[in-house]
Amino acid sequence: MVGQQVRYPYSFLGKFVQFPWKHYWKNARGFRYSMIALAVTYPLFLKIHQIMNSPGNVREWTKIRERRLHDHFAPPSMDDH
């Protein structure tokens, strides 16, 4: 590494680099379990995201939202019943 280490890291990357990751992993049970839970549930949330944003689902919800767009002051039409 070139130069000196800064006394206080102002940037997010500087704070990330100086964070005591090894100490937290070894001594903080909640931190360790949170990281493991994140790694385990990430594929599940990724799959849910892919299903929800599939082209068919997006088309279906576009149709549902279009039905909501109407004039509240217009008389009801007979085809809505």
The answer to whether residue 71 scores a pLDDT higher than 90 is no
Q: What is the pTM assigned to this prediction?
A: 0.57
Measured CA to CA, the distance from residue 78 to residue 39 in angstroms comes to 53
Identify the pLDDT of residue 80.
52
The answer to whether residue 79 scores a pLDDT higher than 70 is no
3-state secondary structure at position 48: helix
Helical ranges in the chain per DSSP H: 12-18, 21-27, 29-52, 55-68
Give mean pLDDT, residues 1-22: 84
**pLDDT tens readout for residues 27-46:** 999 999 999 999 999 999 99
Radius of gyration of the chain (CA): 26
Q: How far apart are the first and last CA of the chain?
A: 73
Give mean pLDDT, residues 45-62: 95
DSSP state of 79: G
DSSP state of 78: G
Identify the pLDDT of residue 66.
86
Identify the pLDDT of residue 81.
52
